[in-house]
Amino acid sequence: MTQSGMMQSLAKKRIAVVGLGLSGLATVRFLLNAGIRPVLMDSRSKPAGIEQIAPEKVDGIYLGELDANRLAKMDMIVLSPGLSPTHPAIRFALAQGVELVGDVELFARVNNKPVIAITGSNGKSTVTKLVEAMLNASGINALAAGNIGLPVLDAIARPGVDVFVLELSSFQLDTTRSLHSIASCILNVSADHLDRYRDLTAYAASKQRVYQHTQLAVFNLADSATTPEQAVHTLGISLADSAYGIVQLADTAWLQVAGEPLLPVAQMTLFGAHNQFNALVACALALAAGASRDGLITALTQFVSLPHRCILVAQKHGVRWINDSKATNIGATQAAIAGLRPGVKGKLILIAGGDAKGADVRELAPVLQHDVQQLITLGQDGAAIAALKPGSIQVKTLAEAVKVAAKLATSGDMVLLSPACASLDMFNSYGDRGEQFAAAVKAEVL
């Protein structure tokens, strides 16, 4: 169906937009621009941004408890990724035959531009922005959107885009079935969002949906959960691989891309083994979309690390302070430690804790025992993490954690904030947590 045909089809439907966060508001704008008057619902009594919507332009705004009977009268529900499809009101509507989609599914139905699709428990934002940078450096107008911040239905209105590079969460993939991509990947699967999925297998199955309708599935040879279950063209990547991996040339480590050396690892702006893997995946995805090798090199040598992802906050008296607040699950913290520990001459002092989102924190035990010399914990699940390592120190605030770390750290040490947990038990967001960490470090040691 053509884009105009799809919009005409949507115009005939009774549509409810449920959840008025960033993606929900973008969906409302998209529908209004197409002359469609949706019904709006949100479980919150006053969602931020609701004032942007003129009540006379929609067919009703209903806040608070979701109205199951009203939803059951719809033809389509566009559900925010922040709300579970298992919500009783949603389940009731589905039982009456109402179609459930997300904003990514709407995007997929009207988009006619090439797409790169990226998911994974950790690293997907870095890879998404790297691919975008590689394509733009190759003269291809690429735009990153999705879970990274720019809603896909806002992105589709941008003029002059050649390729959309989409970061997709498992929640978004749960309501997506029509997305076609020239290349897609699952970077890794580790315990996350187990407060929403029944187990890790169900969570991994949601990630597998990214491989639907893809021309090339890129996966992690070291993580069997990323292996495509569908019969598609595949490319497995690991640091030890001969086609995409790390090779030694004259005692220098190089990125090997598509069987040929690309550039010395030391010339990358990103550091750590996990980012070497991310770079290789980004290269494979970007090449599939037409990037040049010169474009890959330009991006890898100029890329600025994303906020709160292994960022050097300060270096004083030989001690490095690293903000990895974006590590909101166990796998992210494991990857950060594995990537950073080889470059630490002294002690690695880890600050961790928060809301583990139902994950089994005992999975952290091996890395805490072998690679972390001092553990400082805080937050809702801080005590459970502290129990995994003798001599751990529990504190009540992040500022107190920084003070304790400053007293323990000596030249050659690294202090790493990598919480392995969500932040909302104590902070507004992982960004707020990272900013408070940076402020505390600067106040304490600079």
The string of pLDDT tens digits covering residues 391-412 is 999 999 999 999 999 999 999 9
Q: If residue 361 lies in a helix (H) or strand (E), which one and from where to where?
A: none
DSSP secondary structure, 363-396, as one string = GGHHHHHHH-SEEEE-STTHHHHHTTSTT-EE-S
More confidently predicted of 309 and 401? 401
Confidence at 123, pLDDT banded by 50, 70, 90: confident
Give me 273's structure tokens: 């083994």
Helix axes 293-302, 124-137, angle to 10 degrees: 130
Residue 271 half-sphere exposure toward CB, CA atoms < 13 A: 12
Per 3-state DSSP, the chain is made up of helix, strand and coil in percentages (nearest 5) of: 40, 20, 40
The runs of H, that is alpha helices, within 12-123 are 22-33, 68-72, 88-95, 103-110
What is d(CA 74, CA 20) in angstroms, rounded to the nearest whole number?
17
CB-CB contact of 145 with 165 (8 Å):
yes
Q: What is the mean pLDDT of residues 347-359?
A: 94
pLDDT of residue 425: 92
Q: What is the mean pLDDT of residues 8-37?
A: 91
What is d(CA 356, CA 422) in angstroms, rounded to the nearest whole number?
6
Q: Which residues of the chain does CATH 3.40.1190.10 include? A: 106-302
Helix axes 273-288, 293-302, angle to 10 degrees: 150
Confidence at 389, pLDDT banded by 50, 70, 90: very high
Q: Which residues of the chain does CATH 3.40.50.720 include? A: 13-101
Residue 1 has pLDDT above 70, yes or no: no
pLDDT of residue 2: 64
Residue 197 has pLDDT above 80, yes or no: no
CB-CB contact of 116 with 285 (8 Å):
yes
Confidence at 385, pLDDT banded by 50, 70, 90: very high
Chain centre distance of CA 224: 20
Question: CA quadruple 250, 255, 261, 263: dihedral positive or negative?
Answer: negative
Q: What is the mean pLDDT of residues 170-177?
A: 93
Residue 350 half-sphere exposure toward CB, CA atoms < 13 A: 30
pLDDT of residue 311: 85
What's the pLDDT tens digit per position in 97-106?
999 999 999 9
CB-CB contact of 445 with 406 (8 Å):
yes
What is d(CA 289, CA 287) in angstroms, rounded to the nearest whole number?
5
Confidence at 193, pLDDT banded by 50, 70, 90: low
Residue 5 has pLDDT above 90, yes or no: no
Q: What is the mean pLDDT of residues 124-143?
A: 96
Q: Among the ranges 91-105, 198-212, 220-234, which has the highest mean pLDDT value?
A: 91-105
What is d(CA 74, CA 94) in angstroms, rounded to the nearest whole number?
10
Confidence at 232, pLDDT banded by 50, 70, 90: confident
Hey, which residues are catalytic here?
Answer: 124, 147, 193
Calculate the dihedral angle through the C-alpha atoms of 194, 198, 200, 205, rounding to the nearest 10 degrees: -120
Q: If residue 10 lies in a helix (H) or strand (E), which one and from where to where?
A: helix 3-11
CB atoms closer than 10 angstroms to residue 195: 12
Strand order in the sheet with 245-249: 245-249, 252-257, 260-264
Residue 194 has pLDDT above 90, yes or no: no
pLDDT of residue 357: 87
Question: CA quadruple 97, 151, 220, 367: dihedral positive or negative?
Answer: negative
The candidate with the shortest Cα–Cα distance to 116, out of 84, 85, 148, 154, is 148
In this structure, what DSSP letter does residue 306 have?
P
pLDDT > 70 fraction of the chain, expressed in percent and rounded:
97
Torsion angles phi and psi, residue 161, rounded to 5 = -80, 130
Q: Is 97 exposed, middle or buried (0-12, 13-18, 19+ CB in 10 A)?
A: exposed
Helix, strand, or coil (residue 18): strand
Query: Domain 13-101 has what CATH class?
Result: alpha beta
Q: Which residues of the chain does CATH 3.90.190.20 include? A: 311-445
Helix axes 273-288, 124-137, angle to 10 degrees: 50
| pTM across the whole model | 0.81
CB atoms closer than 10 angstroms to residue 386: 22
CATH for 311-445 is 3.90.190.20
The candidate with the shortest Cα–Cα distance to 388, out of 427, 330, 309, is 330
pLDDT of residue 107: 97
The counts of H helices and E strands in the chain are 16, 20
- Residue length of the chain: 446
pLDDT of residue 51: 86
CATH for 106-302 is 3.40.1190.10
Q: Is 80 exposed, middle or buried (0-12, 13-18, 19+ CB in 10 A)?
A: buried
The candidate with the shortest Cα–Cα distance to 244, out of 286, 211, 209, 213, is 286
pLDDT of residue 192: 65
From residue 53, alpha-carbon distances to 18, 57, 65, 195 in Å are 14, 8, 20, 32
What is d(CA 372, CA 392) in angstroms, rounded to the nearest whole number?
10
